[in-house]
Structure 1
Amino acid sequence: MDIDEIVPSDHQENHNGSSNDYEVTYNSNEHNQYEYPKLFNSKTLLELCYSSSPSLKSKGDVQPYLRGCKWSPDGTCCLSVVNNDGVHVTELPRDLYSGSVDSKRKIDVLDPVIHVKESGLIYDFCWYPGMNSTIPESCCWITTRQNAPIQMWDAFDGSLRCSYRGFNAVDEMEPAISVTFNNEGNRIIGGYKNVLRTFDVERPGRDYAEHKINSPASCFATSGNLLAVGSWNTTISLFNVNEMGNYKSIGKMHGHTGGVTHAKFTPDGLKLVSGSRKDHRLLIWDIRYYRTPLNVLSRAVDTNQRVYFDISPCGKYLVSGGTDGLVKVWDANKVNWHSSLDVTDENKYNVTYIFPLHKDCCNSVSIHPCRPILATGSGQYHFKDPLAITSDEKIDEIEKNQDTKECINDIKYSDEAENSLVFWWTGDIDL
């Protein structure tokens, strides 16, 4: 099936109730398969669009920094979670649905078309895997947040569709730590402190099946019947899930030094990539021989915050952000990150490209499902300098004390608060 082009209609109307979002023209040739475009050929990125959260000073101690972004499965919009500001849906401009990009293209400043103001910390979020803008009932996402059940939201008007509630042994509702759909999209899997709960999408409420686990489920990755469950105890558990929703344990993978925060399978389902908090390593696992990591890649993670990475649909490119603001790219054609390298040398330079895109922590990246476009999100919590509330005279006196000055330099207070969602063109550029 060859995708020729994406023909957009009036997108804003669709979020006001129209059922047609865009049309996709296909060539029904079984022998021709869609070839994913080559990325990073020009070794540079062109900024396309920019969307910024409220500034750090506008709300005082409430800091609305970005905490994750994910492209919709059909590629028409990007879902992002903003700390203390809920969920935003930002649409891709229509001129980027097809064709190439000129180097003189003006940067679009985007406003979210949907803003769901959720109170409390959002633990995890996930698009419905069969989301298609031409089918309104398929346009939804789910979230799990502090002191709330798993909730499904409508992607057209931001309304709450339904909730899926899990209860503990004393019949108290408890929030899920992580959440995901299965590949077919007919079940929702919620990860809790000591149990996995499986909900039928068509039966919201408190009807679910349980499978006990030994440690909290901090993140999920799915591929076919396989389910990888990351945990705060630094392990990853592999399960085989049958059609009835029963879990069969395959084994555990050990190698991280911190709690696992993100994991994802490669498109062929044979490799698993995982990352953890305060751990500078991305581990590559072969699920057929999962006892030890197959490869180790390096990135900067100096925080407990979840730092996302992504794998392109073609399986060649692995992209990750970092707390240093850098975006690192591993191209399988130039750096064979799929297989083992000489990881005994810690100084071995095994990254293909490095892009300094953000001044603040780049905590999330998402590769567009069919276009050479990369979405990145930046932001983190910034501690305020206590000297900012003192008078200028007191500051001058403190600066004269060399010992105190060295102490201040050790405490990293940063004014580089960059809370933004940016779309970048990663394909060839027309000069």
Structure 2
Amino acid sequence: MDEEMDLMKQTQTLVKFKGTDSLIRTAKGDSFKSDWSKNLLRCCKWSADGGTVLTEAEDRTIRLFENEEKLESFGKTDEHSTIDEGSSLDGSNSKDSWEPSLSLKMADSVLSTAWFPHSGKKDPSRYCFVAAVKDHPIHLIDATHGSIRASYPIIDHRERVVAPHSMVFSQDGSTLYAGFDTAIEIFDVYRPGEAGERYKTLPSRKSRDGQKGIISTLAIDSNRKGVLAAGSFSSQIGLYDTQSNDFSPIIVFRSKESTGQSQVKFHPYNDQVLFSASRKSNQIHCWDLRYDIRAFHSFYRPGKTNQRIKFDVDPTGSNLITGGTDGKIRIYRLDDLSKPAQCFKLHSDSISAVEFNPTELSFMTCSGSRRLNKQSEYFINSTIPSDDDSSDDNDHSGDDDEEVDVNATSKKSELNLNSSTVRKLNDSNYKAFDLSTELCLWKYTYT
């Protein structure tokens, strides 16, 4: 264990957080105005300069929020600085009125987004992001005006337009990697409109080699060695050498869960350490990539849900932060894996994403989940067969707007609802789900 701890022991800057007293700004309610009766945030992502937050929502809208707070940057901690008195989660002051600077309604469900490398308002040429919308080409979108700068189509063997479930740029921004069903499309960013180069992660449908399933998450190493990590809904993780001529896989291995990978992420200073998380899992696994691939540690977070629960590592590489279905964040030390987590109750609902600001001492959280109302529980109990007669649905081929978090008391209501049941609920004469959402900006310091 000591050898594995040395893999992540870069510095000993530990997050000091004061819980709800550290709230800076909140967006909820009218900040997410929509034609939909109820809305739900799926994730939040910082631009590279820490000045803008991108959010994906249930109502098929991408919203950008400007970070106008002037906080301490890295290397300048101030333990005596405080948040204005009265900041709270109940919206009793002006910090609760955070409106998006840009709202972009998409034509269909948003499957994935990614900021352009080194994005920031001070460099308009780089202030943009890519968005993948179901059955549409990938669009490179200007973050100032919302106009489309370029398009990158993925055409399958039936000549249909396919949208990827995951995307990531190379470090220099010249290449875009997009993951979809048993394939990764590789685009030259400077040649828009043209088809990319396709790498099939599975040689054939009957092949036992390669990586099966939809490529649901991508991450590229931060040390510019060109290693791409790809997680799939088949619960496999593949490592690919992007600098080789044939984009060959270094290794493909199976995770400990069989519920599909929801996130992979390299340690910011050591590309021999990979973190991974799965749906319906309470664990974040740490993988040692040096010799034989093995998980040397796991961090706990409540995550028994189809909803993606995202984690992050701070820019110093010393702290891992994660949300959970219990509305709490947990902050783990990476330099001492034996230490328990710092735990803070920040939201009344599931925290679907937590992300550190890359340039300042702050982080974002977004919360919300689908919750069955009482009428829906009765519908399930009266129409769905018992556990003995039902089969577990592990088909992840649908898009994310078919994810369901069931909070019910009866045994039948605790079933993992499949897409067919969701459609029955939505087609009924009452609203099946109670949805609520919240986006919060928090301040922290280092010790």
Which of the five TM-score ranges fits, normalised by the shorter chain?
0.7 to 0.9
Structure 1 pair 389–111 and aligned structure 2 pair: CA distance change class (3 A): farther
- The aligned residue for residue 270 of structure 1 is 272
State how 1:86-125 maps to structure 2 within 5 Å.
86-96=61-71, 101-105=81-85, 107=87, 108=95, 109-125=97-113
**Secondary structure at 1:293's aligned position in 2?**
strand
- The aligned residue for residue 424 of structure 1 is 442
Structure 1 pair 48–239 and aligned structure 2 pair: CA distance change class (3 A): same
Q: Matched residues in 2 for 1:85 and 1:257: separation? A: 29
Q: Does 1:163 align with 2:151?
A: yes
- The aligned residue for residue 50 of structure 1 is 26
- The aligned residue for residue 258 of structure 1 is 259
Q: Does 1:126 align with 2:88?
A: no
State how 1:380-395 maps to structure 2 within 5 Å.
380-386=369-375
Structure 1 pair 307–206 and aligned structure 2 pair: CA distance change class (3 A): same
Q: 2:291 aligns with which of 289, 292, 299?
A: 289
Q: Matched residues in 2 for 1:93 and 1:37: separation? A: 29
Q: 1:374 aligns with which of 358, 363, 366?
A: 363
Structure 1 pair 240–387 and aligned structure 2 pair: CA distance change class (3 A): closer
> Which residue identity does 1:356 align to in structure 2?
K
Q: Does 1:176 align with 2:170?
A: no
Q: Matched residues in 1 for 2:109 and 2:376: separation? A: 29
- The aligned residue for residue 249 of structure 2 is 249
The structure with the greater share of residues assigned to strand is 1
State the Cα distance separating 1:175 from its structure 2 match.
1.4
Structure 1 unmatched ranges of 5 or more: 1-34, 342-349, 391-406
Q: Matched residues in 2 for 1:171 and 1:289: separation? A: 42
Note the alpha carbon deviations across 1:225-249, whole angstroms, 9 max, x for none. Answer: 10011000111011111176x4121
Larger Rg: 1
- The aligned residue for residue 217 of structure 2 is 219
**Secondary structure at 1:64's aligned position in 2?**
coil
- The aligned residue for residue 230 of structure 1 is 231
- The aligned residue for residue 207 of structure 2 is none
State the Cα distance separating 1:306 from its structure 2 match.
1.1
State the Cα distance separating 1:158 from its structure 2 match.
1.5
**TM-score, normalization by structure 1:** 0.77
State the Cα distance separating 1:170 from its structure 2 match.
2.6
Structure 1 pair 360–414 and aligned structure 2 pair: CA distance change class (3 A): farther
Q: Matched residues in 2 for 1:97 and 1:57: separation? A: 32
Q: Matched residues in 2 for 1:221 and 1:105: separation? A: 39
State the Cα distance separating 1:57 from its structure 2 match.
11
**TM-score, normalization by structure 2:** 0.75
Note the alpha carbon deviations across 1:363-384, whole angstroms, 9 max, x for none. Answer: 0001011211010000112223
State how 1:273-352 maps to structure 2 within 5 Å.
273-333=275-335, 335-336=336-337, 351-352=340-341
- The aligned residue for residue 15 of structure 2 is 40
Structure 1 pair 166–331 and aligned structure 2 pair: CA distance change class (3 A): same
Structure 1 pair 79–250 and aligned structure 2 pair: CA distance change class (3 A): same
> Which residue identity does 2:232 align to in structure 1?
S
> Which residue identity does 2:443 align to in structure 1?
W
May I ask how many residue pairs the two structures share in their alignment?
A: 364
State the Cα distance separating 1:103 from its structure 2 match.
3.5
Note the alpha carbon deviations across 1:132-177, whole angstroms, 9 max, x for none. Answer: 3211010001111211111111111112212100111132211112
Percent of residue pairs bearing the same amino acid type: 25
> Which residue identity does 1:103 align to in structure 2?
I
Structure 1 pair 36–96 and aligned structure 2 pair: CA distance change class (3 A): farther
**Secondary structure at 1:206's aligned position in 2?**
coil
Note the alpha carbon deviations across 1:40-73, whole angstroms, 9 max, x for none. Answer: 325545000001155999866x531110001111
Judge which range, 95-104 or 275-284, deviates more.
95-104
State how 1:128-207 maps to structure 2 within 5 Å.
128-207=116-195
Note the alpha carbon deviations across 1:234-283, whole angstroms, 9 max, x for none. Answer: 11011111176x41211122222310011110012221100010011111
Q: Matched residues in 2 for 1:316 and 1:180: separation? A: 24
Q: Matched residues in 1 for 2:231 and 2:376: separation? A: 41
Matched-pair contact (CA < 8 Å) for 2:11–2:317: no
**Secondary structure at 2:370's aligned position in 1?**
coil
> Which residue identity does 1:358 align to in structure 2?
H
Q: Matched residues in 2 for 1:68 and 1:56: separation? A: 14
**Secondary structure at 1:386's aligned position in 2?**
helix
> Which residue identity does 2:439 align to in structure 1?
L
Note the alpha carbon deviations across 1:183-220, whole angstroms, 9 max, x for none. Answer: 12111111110211101111111331111112221100
> Which residue identity does 2:63 align to in structure 1?
H
> Which residue identity does 1:286 align to in structure 2?
D
- The aligned residue for residue 66 of structure 1 is 41
Q: Matched residues in 2 for 1:233 and 1:358: separation? A: 32
Q: Matched residues in 2 for 1:258 and 1:208: separation? A: 30
Structure 1 pair 41–243 and aligned structure 2 pair: CA distance change class (3 A): same
State the Cα distance separating 1:289 from its structure 2 match.
3.0
- The aligned residue for residue 78 of structure 1 is 53
- The aligned residue for residue 403 of structure 2 is none
- The aligned residue for residue 349 of structure 2 is 360
Q: Matched residues in 1 for 2:163 and 2:82: separation? A: 47
Judge which range, 159-168 or 229-238, deviates more.
159-168
**Secondary structure at 2:409's aligned position in 1?**
helix
**Secondary structure at 1:167's aligned position in 2?**
coil
Q: Matched residues in 2 for 1:169 and 1:44: separation? A: 51
Q: Matched residues in 2 for 1:156 and 1:71: separation? A: 15
Q: Matched residues in 2 for 1:252 and 1:387: separation? A: 41
